[in-house]
Amino acid sequence: MGRGKVELKRIENTSNRQVTFSKRRNGLLKKAFELSILCDAEVALIMFSSTGKIYQYASEDIDRIISRYRSVVGAPSLYNRHYNTIEFWRSELDNLQKSADSLEARAKHLTGEDLSSLSLKELKQLERQVKNGVERIRAKKRYIISEDISSLKRKQRALLDENACLQRRIKLQEASLCLRSTKQGSSSTPF
């Protein structure tokens, strides 16, 4: 029988997070090694921990793999003189500005603003995305409310138990006082 589904969110406890990172890091490095052997693939894996330590695996020379990657995706080589020129950085700035504008437009669309430029197909896709987002939000909200209700019920049970215990103690004290007053009353009666 397999393990249950793990909710993917940041682990708040620092020591638990570090233990999980170590275990999963080792598993990931092992999988990268297995993939390179089984499939004769060139694999490079670079990880930085939250503390800034670097972990890496490369089936070949890592610099050669990174250079090959950069050439495939169209990124300039680190050794390229053009990389340090003003034109290159202007181009980079323009690309980043276009990306920022696109993201701002996307954010406006998601809030229901500036929809006039969208086609019917884009509007339907946006509607689907918003519905999915709302469903995820509602599911998270239901989960949080359910957890809060469970917590409040546990607190209520604890308070009811404490209340019952205090009621018993009060009754025992009252009974004790009655016995004392009865004993004092019988001892003060003359013969």
**191, pLDDT greater than 60:** no
Give Cα 11 to chain centroid, integer Å: 7
Q: Are 71 and 3 in the same domain? A: yes
**153, pLDDT greater than 90:** yes
List the structure tokens of 129.
Answer: 């995305």
Per the CB < 8 A criterion, the answer to whether 56 and 47 are in contact is yes
Q: Are 125 and 179 in the same domain? A: yes
pLDDT tens digits, one per residue of 57-116: 999 888 888 888 888 887 766 665 555 677 778 888 999 999 999 899 888 888 888 888
Any idea what the CATH number is for the domain that residue 39 is in?
3.40.1810.10
pTM higher than 0.95:
no
Q: Are 136 and 171 in the same domain? A: yes
Q: Are 98 and 125 in the same domain? A: no
Helix (H) or strand (E) holding 47: strand 44-48
Structural domain contains residue 47: yes
Q: Are 6 and 67 in the same domain? A: yes
**190, pLDDT greater than 60:** no
Q: Are 26 and 94 in the same domain? A: no
Banded model confidence at residue 148, pLDDT cuts 50, 70, 90:
very high
Count of other CB atoms within 10 angstroms of residue 33: 14
Q: Are 69 and 92 in the same domain? A: no
Count of other CB atoms within 10 angstroms of residue 118: 14
In this prediction, residue 175 carries a pLDDT of 84
Domain that holds residue 20: 1-79
Q: Are 52 and 109 in the same domain? A: no
Structural domain contains residue 26: yes
pLDDT tens digits, one per residue of 14-58: 888 888 888 999 999 999 999 999 999 999 999 998 888 999 999
Per the CB < 8 A criterion, the answer to whether 77 and 67 are in contact is yes
Q: Quote the number of domains for the chain.
A: 3
Q: Are 101 and 166 in the same domain? A: no
Structural domain contains residue 35: yes
Q: Are 102 and 127 in the same domain? A: no
In this prediction, residue 113 carries a pLDDT of 86
Q: Are 150 and 128 in the same domain? A: yes
- Distance between CA atoms of residues 67 and 74, nearest Å: 10
Structural domain contains residue 191: no
Torsion sign over Cα 14, 20, 23, 29: negative
